[in-house]
Amino acid sequence: MKPKAHILIVEDKAILYKRLSMALSEENYSVDGFTPSVEKALERFQTKLPDIVLLDIDLEGALSGIDLGKILSTSYNIPFIYVTDYDDNETFFEGLQTHHENFLVKTKPHLDTKQVVRAIQTALSRNKKQTPTHCKDAILCFTNYITNVKNHGNQTVSELPVLFVDIAMITTKSTQPNLEKSKRTGKPEFLKLKSNYVRIATFNEKSYYLPVSLSEILGKLPNHFIRINESEIVNISEHILDGRINGIRLKIGDHICHISKTYKPEVEKRFELLYQKFK
């Protein structure tokens, strides 16, 4: 008999993983192998995408289940359920921001596997029309502000796809120098775009435009894009990023990007996710 669905359990306690795995197998679900960390979960995705994920919050390694939840909802569109020891309001409301299907608290001394199975069945039923897929490969952009492309002739391209792998950064700044501010700060400064517009800058210095905010577009990007300050999202994949400067700046081509204090913790988590580091 064909399994109902394929489930990934991200849990660092082997005994609990085994108990859940057995209960789900009895219900005719296929279950992936023991996965105690976010890094291991992402490796699993390279082999087979699950239909749903059971996700603990306290995991092995620097990244938590909350971090993986953000990736699942923004980059993979895979439904997931938190199964955790944490029962405090702070963790619950932090989890809500990741758009999970359910938040189950592990009961002691035994986890209620029947409750977990029913939560899975509910989530799969709710999402049965959606196929989990990885983030798309490109984004459709305008060649200029919308008001400027409306009058283009029938032979002039006004929209075109831009591959994510080609994007160096997404910014609210234009390519026009702000001479007054540059003189005052002693470094290159640029005028802002129109309100609620972003500029898509590629590694070969081409520019495209979208009528959205940085917050809106961030949720549609692969996980190697990270917001670093109020005006910039950058691509920190190895073929774009030239390096870090004293931990507070990133070098991308000739552009030096400053990491603000507000976004630095998330930037550090993303580097932990994407790169092996040794201290």
Residue 137 has pLDDT above 90, yes or no: no
Model confidence over 138-188: pLDDT tens digits?
A: 999 999 999 888 777 778 889 999 999 999 999 999 999 999 888 888 888
The mean pLDDT of 96-117, rounded to a whole number, is: 87
> Residue 94: in which H helix or E strand, if any?
helix 89-96
Q: Does residue 94 fall inside a structural domain?
A: yes
Between 1 and 56, residue with greater pLDDT: 56
* 10 & 111 share domain: yes
What percentage of the chain has pLDDT greater than the value 90? 62
Q: Does residue 57 fall inside a structural domain?
A: yes
Work out how many domains the chain is built from and give that number. 2
Q: Does residue 133 fall inside a structural domain?
A: no
* 143 & 260 share domain: yes
Least confident stretch, 8-12, 20-24, 73-77, 123-127: 73-77
**Domain end: 88, 106, 126, which one?**
126
pLDDT at position 134 is 52
Q: Does residue 198 fall inside a structural domain?
A: yes
Tell which residue, 105, 122, 116, has the closest CA to residue 23. 116
Residue 108 has pLDDT above 70, yes or no: no
* 119 & 145 share domain: no
The mean pLDDT of 245-267, rounded to a whole number, is: 91
Model confidence over 206-238: pLDDT tens digits?
A: 999 999 999 888 877 888 899 999 999 999 999
Report the side by side order of strands in the sheet with 80-84: 30-31, 6-10, 52-55, 80-84, 102-105
> Residue 44: in which H helix or E strand, if any?
helix 38-47
Burial class (CB in 10 A: 0-12, 13-18, 19+), 215: exposed
* 119 & 239 share domain: no
Q: Does residue 131 fall inside a structural domain?
A: no
pLDDT at position 279 is 62
Range of 91's domain? 6-126
d(CA 101, CA 98): 10
Between 150 and 40, residue with greater pLDDT: 40
Confidence grade of residue 118 (pLDDT, cut at 50, 70, 90): very high
SS3 120: helix
* 155 & 236 share domain: yes
pLDDT at position 271 is 87
Strand-pair category, 249-252 with 255-258: antiparallel
pTM for the model:
0.64
Q: Does residue 279 fall inside a structural domain?
A: no
Model confidence over 241-254: pLDDT tens digits?
A: 999 999 899 999 88
* 158 & 114 share domain: no
Q: Does residue 1 fall inside a structural domain?
A: no
Q: What single-letter amino acid sits at 47? A: T
**Domain end: 87, 102, 126, which one?**
126
d(CA 168, CA 164): 9
Report the CATH number at residue 220.
2.40.50.1020
Residue 132 has pLDDT above 60, yes or no: no
- Other Cβ atoms within 10 Å of 32 Cβ, number: 19
Place of tokens 């990270």: 226
pLDDT at position 234 is 96
* 62 & 105 share domain: yes
